[in-house]
Amino acid sequence: MRHQRASGAVFLFLALMWAVAGARDAGAQTINPTTAEFNPSPDHNVVSNGTAVVTRYDLEFYTPGAASPFQVNSLGKPNPATDGLIHVLLTSVLTAFPAPGIVYESRVTAVGPGGVGRSAPSNTFMFTAPCTYSIAPTTQALAAGGGTGNTTVTTASGCAWTAASNAGWISVTSGATGSGNGTVGYAATANTTASSRTGTLTIGGQTLTVTQVACSYTVSPATQSIASGGGTANATIATTSGCPWTAVSNAAWLSITSSGSGSGNATVNYSIAANTTTSSRNGTLTIAGRTVTVTQAPGLSAPSGVYVDRPQ
């Protein structure tokens, strides 16, 4: 076994993933390291008497100055990368991260049938407490006509978060990104469908659920009787504030004389042309999705067979 070669050749460096390609300063302290990288043992690929000299590597965690590791994680035997180093994501090997707020250092050991070779200590590093997020409230009920709402984000200072809508009818109006405590504002459009609906926003990894009832409309009167000479009439719309509506005529002799669209409660005015036929007629208007039926009396029939006798 040539573990003496292995023990003097292993070097460990812990760094943030984005710093891997940068300068490597073994004396620098790293916060929240994500990657362990080290030079493999020169015996990495050596086979002696049909047996690999190095069978695996272990990553050991120490408090500075300690003689023994408090945590050991097997790395298996990963192959070196094109830069000659072995890179290991900590999340792929650690079942539990060391406690936050304590300074640590690490060593890598090359393990084989003949013994163990241990590297010099790494740079020191520290883990901070992971960012956690909460929002309040987590549910919101909005009126059918739409509206606005907000929720408060609570987290530690420096913890970044984003807010995004998962429904086309909900939009984030403020606080799309933030750090630390903050507030997210949002708005919902009117629900013109026939059913209530539910949508969500994802804020700092948490879910805010928004429910909204559907707009409902009542139009009265639903029928109208008009004399043959025509005239004017109106229909009243009752609905929730913000709920949109339109009004259209379905007969050439009926005309909308007020606005053909709006929202909330309103009155729609319309006019009826004179009926010059000798038959009654029916026509309709569609107002806020409801049908208004107008019945008009026939015009008077013209006299016939008139005879005036000459004077005697």
Separation in Å, CA 202 to CA 138, 142, 176, 179, 205: 10, 18, 10, 15, 6
Query: Which pLDDT does position 18 carry in this prediction?
Result: 24
The token pair at 216 is 């409902």
Residue 94, Cβ density class (10 Å: 0-12 exposed, 13-18 middle, ≥19 buried): middle
What pLDDT does 17 receive? 29
Q: Report the alpha-carbon distance of residue 43 to residue 9 in Å, rounded.
A: 9
Distances (CA, A) of 172 to 179, 209, 246: 16, 13, 28
**pLDDT the model gives residue 8:** 31
Structure tokens at 286: 């569609």
Q: 303: cis peptide before it, omega within 30°?
A: no
The series of mean pLDDT values per 10 residues for the chain, 312 residues long, is 34 32 51 85 90 92 90 93 90 78 89 89 83 94 94 88 96 94 96 92 96 94 95 94 93 94 94 94 95 92 70 64
CA distances from 193 to 57, 201, 213 (A): 62, 21, 9
Backbone angles phi, psi at 212, to 5 degrees: -150, 130
Whether residue 133 contacts residue 153, with contact meaning beta carbons closer than 8 Å, is answered with yes
**DSSP secondary structure letters along 151-199:** EEEE--TT-EEEEEESSTTEEEEE-SEEESSEEEEEEE----SSS-EEE
260 to 88, 116, 181, 281: CA distances (angstroms): 67, 86, 46, 24
Angle at 229 between CA 221 and CA 222, to 5 degrees: 10
> Is residue 42 reached through a cis peptide bond, with omega within 30 degrees of 0 on the bond before it?
no
195: amino acid identity, one letter = S
Per-residue model confidence (pLDDT) at position 301: 66
Residue 95 DSSP label? S
**Alpha helices (H) in the chain, listed in sequence order:** 3-9, 90-93
pLDDT at 260: 92
33 CB burial (10 A radius; 0-12, 13-18, 19+):
buried
Calculate ∠ Cα 261-263-266, nearest 5°.
80
In order of start, what are the domains of the chain with their CATH numbers? 3-126 (2.60.40.10), 134-212 (2.60.40.10), 218-296 (2.60.40.10)
> Among 171, 173, 295, which residue's Cα sits nearest to residue 224?
295
- Phi, psi angle pair for 91, to nearest 5°: -65, -20
